[in-house]
Chains A and B, each alone.
Chain A
Amino acid sequence: MSEPDEMQWKKPFEGLRVADFAWVGVGPTVSKYLADQGAEVIRIESSTYPEALRRVPPFVNDQPGLDNSGYYANFNSSKLGMTVNLKHPRGPELVKRLIRECDVVTESFTPGTMARFGLDYASLSEGRDDLVMISMPLYGQTGRWSSYMGYGHVLQAAAGYNHLTGWADEPPIGTGIAYTDFLVPHFAAIALIAALDHRRRTGQGQFIDFGQMEAAVHGLGTAILDWTANGHEQTRMGNRDPEAAPHGCYRCKDGRYIVLACFTEKQWDGFKAALGRPDWCDLERMRRRWQRLNEQKEIDRHIQAWIEDVTLDPAHPEPDDPDDSPDTPKVERLTTEQLMMHFQKFGVPCGIVNSPEAMRSDPQIAHRQHYWMLEHPTMGLRSYDGPAFRLSGTPSELTKAAPLLGGDNEYVYRELVGLSEEEFVELLADGAFE
């Protein structure tokens, strides 16, 4: 499957050029998919109004700097960087000339922003019908919230993720991150590539109105239909699941957490065997899944106690019990990793809650080479996320680290916009590229 093909493959998006105005998390993730598959993606930024993420940590050596943010870098592998000041009298014209050389425009500003600079789809597609443009603000191009501001951290609230994350009867804490920024770009990329495929076959471009909230609603599983068809409002239930028992997250001796789930009777049988069939497992009220769903408090207590008992903390080994006679068999204690494999051996879905640090040494993540190490001119060798998929013929390839702010201005303005050297220097001196 993964052995090299005898055939030469062309990178799918080779020859496509993307004018990428999108910023923060969503848009850059979408254009990164294209960039890592051969498209020439040009991040269009401004040094007067820098992209928000360039100002957000982590910074190398804790030194804030527009070319020093790991947050920005991770979203922008394989891209070029240019800067333009759209408020300079010639800014919009320069950008329009660039877009004439582009196949795709991506942006995520508040609706109306692009139009203010004459960069809306109607203006940009004048005289050509092959331009594909996707606009990706939080709430779409129309509707009463279309001008609303925000980031993924608040959109997760409006899109239902806060309501569905947290402990029952406690605040809707949501995920600890700007969650929708890491969900909706995949939907946008599907739409954009579908439009590109249509264009490849017919020559016809189009505009895509992408409202992040609407895509996010599709990630809510059954919550919407359960309301509209059943009138049942789903809500957060900690680590429980309406369908499985046991289903939870438990603390091990070393302070790490482990999760496990039993959806089927087979998994429950495996679970019982993994625990050595303690009496409580064989109580009549534990027999069937629908019965166990009512006993989760007790089940969780048993599991937590058992895990406390059997796991060990290598950093603080427990002293031998002085009351033990030499004949008492030593209890075999397990590391957290061994506990996970112990449950897995019995067919129980089980996993450690990996920290970012642990992700770097997770054997499977290492085997998959999920993280790409890329050398950046000011940040040095840094890790970037790769995609969750491996294509046998045209694997995604992170060809270079994130661009410097305006790092490719000369190429873009001279080669693509077509400025002469004199014009380039003149406009540079006049602040048009800031």
Chain B
Amino acid sequence: MANEASVPLPHVQGPLSGYRVLDLADEKGQLCARLLGELGADVIKVEAREGDPTRHNGPFFRGDEGPDTSIYWWAMNAGKRSVTCELRLEPGRELFRELVLKSDILIETARPGHMASLGLGYESLAALNPGLIMLSITNFGQSGPYRDLEATDIVASALGGHMYLNGDMEKGPVRTTAPQAYAQVNAQAGVGAMIALYARGVNDGRGQYVDVSMQEAMANAMDNTQQTWDIRGINPIRPGIRRNNAGQYGARYLFEASDGWLTALQVGGLIGPGADRIIDWLAESGEARGLDSPAWRAKLTSLQPLSDSDRDYVEETLNAFCKTRKKDDLVREAQARAAGWAPVLSPHEIVENGHLADREFWIRVQHEDLGESFIYPGAPFRLEATPWQQRGRAPHVGEHNHDVYGGLLGKDDAELRRLRARMVI
């Protein structure tokens, strides 16, 4: 193939340069593997011969569904190598074991017991490679009453407790449209992988098994509501445009500007110790509606809850003030007055955001196969000595078979032809 070896870009300076990761993961582990790659690890995506099923996850480039046009695939698998390997056939499993021998971390997301049924459970693989770290990321973990249950993002968000906190009392709970159970379990599994990797270094090269639960990852995204239940026996409300305050409606934190929405926190907003700064601002603009009187100031800066009618009056005042101004102008002025406001940004506003531009956050990734390049998110963390690096576009199905099976495993062309003929790769 003409494009072979155009990805991934080399990354010898990365802190994980020299480590190898085998990625058998679905939505629960692909981002985790990608992050390890961007820190320098050689990540090999192992796909079935027909290609990984997530290649058919939408959205698609220009709406055209196909194995190489999934935006999902691009986002989660950028910078990896891809090999095909038929794990349903014994010669495929044999080939996979050879890869395991050359690897440090294996990330898989199959149903509990499935890998063992293929003879690829942790015990068997660790017998071959005692240094192997095996991450099994599943819906609910490797054992327990829900072990075999089905879950997608919304199910883990629900059973993990996180979704209970979001939405409003009338319409019920709501999920974040960008899947957060997947984002959370990937990121938290990454921490588990890094701990195991470090542990290996101080334990004579011994690897271990890491059992990760998506439900638990969401349980870790419940803010202080679990402690509020533990200590006070109170469940939260779903607060809509307000905040939840131990089961009561707290201050409103979302306001509408002339060109969108912004968040003005209780702290730094019109209620609380910092209220004077905002009251001054309203007064200077002639829009305080009397809130600059000493009595109102005393009321607003104290930490005593306001009566419903007082609160409505204050919020109406702030909302009217915001309605006639642009959100970026409001946020800039609020921050100049030491109030921690922020605009509600959409994806395209994030891409056009001046602060991220100042930081030179965005990266242009070449898709030479399409003759185009696209903007991708840049460094999620900036390590000064061993920098993060984007590694190029996502691979085509089996794009690196020759590279990996030839280069890494030393198979000659005749052997590769044989594996192809036997439908192993």
Majority DSSP secondary structure for residues of B touching A: mixed
Give bound CA distance, A198 to B35, whole Å.
16
**Chain B positions within 8 Å of A378 at CB level:** none
B-side contacts of A46, CB under 8 Å: none
Q: Are B199 and A257 in contact (CB under 8 A)?
A: no
Is B203 an interface position by the 8 A CB rule? Answer: yes
Report the Cα distance A190→B197, complex, angstroms: 11
Residue of B nearest to A207 (CB): B384
- Tell me, in angstroms, the Cα distance from A13 to B267 when the chains sit together: 37
**B216 near A388 (CB under 8 angstroms)?**
yes
In angstroms, Cα B385 to Cα A207, docked, is: 8
Does A171 lie within 8 Å of B261, measured CB to CB? yes
- B189 on the interface (CB 8 Å rule)? yes
Is B406 interfacial (CB-CB < 8 Å)?
Answer: no
Which one of B143, B161, B211 contacts A355 once the chains associate, using CB atoms below 8 Å?
Answer: B161
B6 surroundings in chain A (CB, below 8 A): none
Residue numbers in A under 8 Å from B206 (CB-CB): 7, 9, 393
User: What distance in Å separates the Cβ of A375 from its nearest Cβ neighbour in chain B?
Assistant: 13
Question: What are 19 residue pairs bridging A and B, where the CB atoms are less than 8 Å apart in the complex?
Answer: A12-B202, A57-B228, A58-B224, A143-B359, A151-B265, A165-B176, A173-B240, A217-B356, A222-B72, A229-B74, A257-B158, A259-B154, A350-B150, A351-B155, A364-B147, A367-B143, A367-B144, A387-B191, A388-B188
Contact for A392 among B201, B208, B267, B380, CB less than 8 A: B208
C-alpha gap A222/B394 in the complex (Å): 14
In the complex, what distance in Å separates the CA atom of A347 from the CA atom of B356?
44
Whole-angstrom distance between the Cβ of A136 and the nearest chain B Cβ? 9
B188 and A387 within 8 A (CB): yes
Bits for A201-212, please: 1 = Cβ < 8 Å to B, else 0: 100111111110
B311 on interface, CB distance cutoff 8 Å: no
- Interface check B263, CB cutoff 8 A: yes
- Beyond A160-B350, A222-B178, 6 additional pairs, beta carbon < 8 A: A1-B122, A71-B224, A74-B227, A183-B187, A344-B150, A368-B144
How many angstroms between the C-alpha atoms of A232 and B384 in the bound complex?
34
**A173–B358 contact, CB under 8 A?**
no
A47 at the interface (CB under 8 A from B): no
Query: Which chain B residues (342-359) contact chain A, with CB distance < 8 Å?
Result: 342-348, 350-351, 353-356, 358-359
Closest residue of chain B to A358, judged by CB?
A: B161
Q: Which residue of chain B has its CB nearest to the CB of A247?
A: B154
Q: Chain B residues near A232 (CB, 8 Å)?
A: 59
Stretch at the interface among A85-93, A100-108, A234-242: A234-242
Interface-lining segment among A174-182, A308-316, A324-332, A409-417: A174-182
The answer to whether A164 has its CB under 8 Å from any CB of chain B is yes
A387 touching B192 by the CB < 8 A rule? yes
Known: A13-B198, A155-B342, A182-B220. A356 touches B226 (CB 8 A): yes
Taken residue by residue from 148 to 178, chain A's Cβ proximity to chain B (1 for < 8 Å, 0 otherwise) reads as: 1111011101111111111100011111111
Our pick among B75, B156, B190 for the contact of A190 (Cβ within 8 Å) is B190
Which residue of chain A has the shortest Cβ distance to B372 in the bound complex?
A229
Query: Would you call A21 an interface residue if the criterion is a C-beta within 8 Å of the partner chain's C-beta atoms?
Result: no
B265 touches A356 (CB 8 A): no
B221 (CB) vs chain A CBs: closest residue: A182
Q: Are B246 and A57 in contact (CB under 8 A)?
A: yes
A62 at the interface (CB under 8 A from B): yes
Output the least CB separation between A199 and chain B (Å): 9
Contact between B216 and A368 (Cβ–Cβ < 8 Å)? yes
Chain B residue with minimal CB distance to A177?
B223
Across the interface, do A368 and B192 meet the contact criterion of CB distance under 8 Å? no
A349 to B382, CA, bound (A): 38
Question: Does any Cβ of A come within 8 Å of B217's Cβ?
Answer: yes
